[in-house]
Amino acid sequence: MAKRPKSVGIIFKHDFQPAKKECKRLRDWFTQRGITVYTEEMASRAHVTQCLEEDTSIPDTVDLVVVLGGDGTLLGAARKVGRYGLPILGVNLGGLGFLTEIPLEMLYKDMEKVITGQVTVEPRLMLQASVFRNAEEKCRFSVLNDVVINKGALARIIDLRVSIDGHFLTTFRADGLIISTPTGSTSYNLSAGGPILYPDLEALILTPICPFTLTQRPIIVPDTSVIEVQMGKHNEEVILTFDGQVGFDLMAHDKVIISKSEKKLKLIKSPDQDYYDILRTKLKWGEPAYNRTDE
């Protein structure tokens, strides 16, 4: 950040008392320094039936947004204010925290560095996904991590016909399909056997979930790719999820079009650790069993 902020937004975790408490404390900290503060509590997860752009009480004129919670809270904040192009600082109040890099005990020390411009802002690729039914757009969302097509708990294996830039790739017969950004590569993609990508790589990952054919493996494509996924004829109980937080029911023959968003999220980096530090810490790569040198 190049200049001292005049106003900030604070978005905090839904129905989480420690986040509410820290929001009040941080608001007072900013106010004492002459910085105007806007606050918003993150809404709970939702299931939608039509195209919705999520509302926010944070104005697009603020200089900075602070997120208090975990990665889920930051993903929700990205859908709300990512389109504004505002720098976002994630503060971890509990969970794994790949995106909310700042631990609570370092918040005010690091915040001094933030407001004096001693931090790095890293652009992160976002996805835009649209659902078309009978050539009519029914739903559109921008996401930071991933777009996932998944069968319901009692549904049979589903058929997903995938084309990239108009060229047919394959028909995945699987429990589902993950289309992930590099930022989202350490999320559901990783659990499904997909690769980890460095966050600033310009690429997308397609990872099938429990494919019927074991030769159908994850594939990495350029971020300029336009990915089209068409539902099969007899698919039932198929759900499209955006960052694992917003759901939309898909029907037979629906088309899902995924491409990179015109906007990139601006994520403020921790001044005390780099991405490899985060991987070692969060994925336990620093445990003794992984550092043996006597074999």
Place of tokens 């069993």: 289
Place of tokens 């050539």: 135
Active site (annotated) includes residue 110: no
**How far, in whole angstroms, is CA 144 from its chain's centroid?**
3
Strand partners, 40: 11
Place of tokens 């060229």: 167
Helix or strand (DSSP H, E) at 119? none
Q: Are 202 and 228 in contact (CB under 8 A)?
A: no
Residues 15, 28, 60, 71: which is the catalytic one? 71
Read off φ and ψ for residue 63, nearest 5 degrees.
-95, -15
Q: Are 237 and 176 in contact (CB under 8 A)?
A: no
Q: Are 263 and 60 in contact (CB under 8 A)?
A: no
Angle 161-166-171 from CA coordinates, rounded to 5°: 15
For the chain, what is the radius of gyration of the CA atoms?
Answer: 20
Residue 274 neighbours by CB under 8 Å, 6+ apart: none
| Separation of alpha carbons 39 and 219, rounded Å | 40
Q: Are 238 and 151 in contact (CB under 8 A)?
A: yes
Residue 104 neighbours by CB under 8 Å, 6+ apart: 22, 91, 92, 93
| Separation of alpha carbons 219 and 76, rounded Å | 27
- By annotation, the residues acting in catalysis are 71
